Amino acid sequence: MSSFARLTVSDVARHYGRRKALSQISFTCDAGEIVGLLGPNGAGKSTLLNILATLLAPSRGSIQYGDRTANGGGAEVRGLIGMLGHDLFLYPELTARENLAFFSRLYAVADVPATVTAALTRAGLADRGDDLVSGFSRGMRQRVALERALLHDPRLILLDEPFTGLDQASTAALVERLRERQRAGCLIVLATHDLDVADGLLDRAIYLKGGRMVGIDTASNGLADRYRRAMQS
C-alpha cells in the first residue's frame, strides 16, 4: 500500500460559470490528523471534499497528495482515498455483504470474504450481513457506508456530514473508529455542522464562509466560540 505524509492544498478555486463555489483555499495537513471543514450551508465544504476526492477538478490551483497530484496519479491516488458521502454510496437493493463485496472487488482487495466479514463485524452487523440495505436504519446504513469507505485501508479518509442522523451511541462508535484510523496514521478530513462532536475530535479546523477560508484553528476545546467569531468576522 503506497502512502503519503502530507496533503497540500494550494490556492484552489472552483467556479460554476460565474458563480464562485470556492476561492483561494490553501492549507496543509499531515498524516495522523483529523481535520474539520466547518461552515454554514453553501460555504463550499462538500465542493472542497469532492475536489480532494478527485471527483471534481479545481478551476484553479492544485492539490498534492505527498508528491503526487490527482492528474499525475490517477488510479493510484484514487486508491489512497476513501470517501463517505452524504448519500452513503450504497445500493439499497443489495445486502450489506453484497455491497461490501462489490466494492472490495472494485478496489481489488486481496481476500474479499475475510475483508467483508471483518468489515461487517466492525460495523456491528455481523448477524445482519445478508439483509438488504434498504431495510436498515440510517445509523446502520451509515456504519456499513463507513466500512465500505475503509475496505481498502485508505490513507486519506474524506467524510461529508458523517454524524447526520446518528444517535449518541452511534456517534460515539463513529468517533472511536475515526480515532482508531487516526492512530493507524490516516489523514481524516471531515465536513460537519456538529460543533459539539467536532470539539475535542479535530486537530485542525478550517473555517469556510461563502466559498472562502476565513480561518484555521488548531487550538483544542472551545471550538464553538471561535467558530462563531470566525463566522462573524
Interface residues with another protein (CB under 8 A)?
50, 53-57, 75-76, 78-79, 81, 83, 85-94, 98, 102-103, 105-108, 132, 148, 152
d(C-alpha 195, C-alpha 176), whole Å: 17
Q: Which is nearer to another protein, 61 or 79 (CB)?
A: 79
* 125 φ/ψ angles, rounded to the nearest 5 degrees: -125, 30
Contact 78, 54 (CB under 8 A): yes
Query: According to DSSP H, which parts of 53-167 are helical?
Result: 70-73, 75-78, 96-106, 112-122, 138-150
12 forms beta bridges with 25
**Bridging pattern class, strands 204-209 and 34-38:** parallel
Q: Which is nearer to another protein, 53 or 208 (CB)?
A: 53
CB of 102 to another protein, least distance (A): 5
CB of 221 to another protein, least distance (A): 34
Decide: residue 228, CB within 10 A, 0-12 exposed, 13-18 middle, 19+ buried.
exposed
CB of 220 to another protein, least distance (A): 32
d(C-alpha 193, C-alpha 159), whole Å: 12
Contact 21, 14 (CB under 8 A): yes
Q: Which is nearer to another protein, 27 or 91 (CB)?
A: 91
Q: Which is nearer to another protein, 94 or 216 (CB)?
A: 94
Q: Which is nearer to another protein, 41 or 233 (CB)?
A: 41
Q: Which is nearer to another protein, 106 or 224 (CB)?
A: 106
> What is the separation of C-alpha 14 from the centre of its chain, rounded to a whole number of angstroms?
19
CB of 127 to another protein, least distance (A): 21
- Measured in residues, the chain has a length of 233
CB of 76 to another protein, least distance (A): 7
CB of 215 to another protein, least distance (A): 28
| Helix/strand/coil percent split, the chain, to 5 | 35, 30, 35
